[in-house]
Amino acid sequence: MIGPRDSLVRGYVLHQRPWRNTSLLVEAFTVDAGRIGLVARGVRTRNSRTRALLEPFQPLLLSWSGRGELHTLTGVEAEYWRGPPPGRALLAGYYCSELILRLLGRDDPNAEAFAAYDSAVSALAAGGQEEPTLRGFELDLLVALGFAPPLDTDPETGRAVDVDRQYDYFAEFGPVPATGPVSPDTIRVAGKHLRALADRRLDDREVLRAARRILRASLQPLLGTKPLKTRELYRTMYGGSGTAGPPVR
């Protein structure tokens, strides 16, 4: 369990909600303390300058004090000023935040996960393409959590995936050379697309289609049966008809 933190450290606000009359409860994600719960006291008053800083996707420098599950926010500065992701990319950013909230426990530092989140929301805020950004984030997050899906090696033989073959992909095992007709539940994917995903070459529509299915299957055991709110919201707003966006369909 982390203790008081007097120095300012890099972080983001993942979520906030009102608490008592003038305060906020903040879920923050920091580079060297992981996810932490903060009480931002008095920030909902008319004269507070802190409230405007405590917005999602704004790079922050944070300090806090206290022990236990909730800490008291003692300092906050903007690392630099940046607007939120524009348009539909905003929902993509919230999808990234929801994955962090669902998959990382509090007070469990993970610098790799922070770097993946920082890179993804920075790319979205800069107008980067949503789907390649999100598929890369999902893959980087799985690597950071120690659940990286095997992509470019046949686990049965130890050989590199053949770019000229078709494979059936199993999240708990990896790619297996395809030998029969594809079933509705089978992820049938070309070896060249597996190699492209392993190399983070996410600029091809077919690679992205394969990546959606593989990464969704890899994330599902970690997420459990509770639906992702951003996935449901995306379907409500956009009908799931686009090729880009926060959810893997």
CA 54 centroid distance within chain: 19
User: What pLDDT digit, counting tens, does each position of 86-95 carry?
Assistant: 988 999 999 9
Q: What is the pLDDT of residue 5?
A: 56
Q: CA angle, 99 as apex, 79 and 88 as ends, to 5°?
A: 75
pTM for the whole structure: 0.91
- The token duo for 57 is 């996707």
pLDDT-wise least confident of 71-80, 170-179, 202-211, 231-240: 231-240
Distance of CA 55 to the CA centre of its chain: 17
Residue type at position 217: A
How big is the chain, counted in residues? 249
Residues above pLDDT 70, as percent of the chain: 93
Cα angle value 230/215/166 (rounded, 5°): 145
Q: Which residue has the higher pLDDT, 162 or 7?
A: 162
Classify residue 82 as left (phi > 0), alpha (psi -120 to 50) or beta. beta
Domain boundaries, the chain: 5-78
Token pair belonging to 242 = 């686009």
**pLDDT for the residue 240:** 55
The rounded distance, in Å, linking the Cα atoms of 118 and 129 is 16
Lowest average pLDDT, out of 94-108, 189-203, 228-242, goes to: 228-242
Task: Provide the b/e sequence for 166-202 (b: ≥16 CB within 10 Å).
Answer: bbbbbbeebbeebeeeeeeeebebbbbbbbbbbeeeb
Residue 106 has pLDDT above 50, yes or no: yes
Residue 247 has pLDDT above 80, yes or no: no
Tokens 């920091």 belong to residue: 30
224, 195 Cβ separation under 8 angstroms: no
Chain-wide mean pLDDT for the chain? 90
pLDDT at 185 over 50: yes
Q: In CATH, which of 3.40.50.2020, 3.40.1160.10, 2.40.50.140, 1.10.3720.10 is domain 5-78?
A: 2.40.50.140
Encoded tokens for 4: 């008081």
pLDDT tens-place string over residues 43-95: 998 888 888 899 999 999 999 998 888 999 999 999 999 989 998 899 999 99
At residue 4, the pLDDT reads 47
Question: In the prediction, which pLDDT does 244 show?
Answer: 42
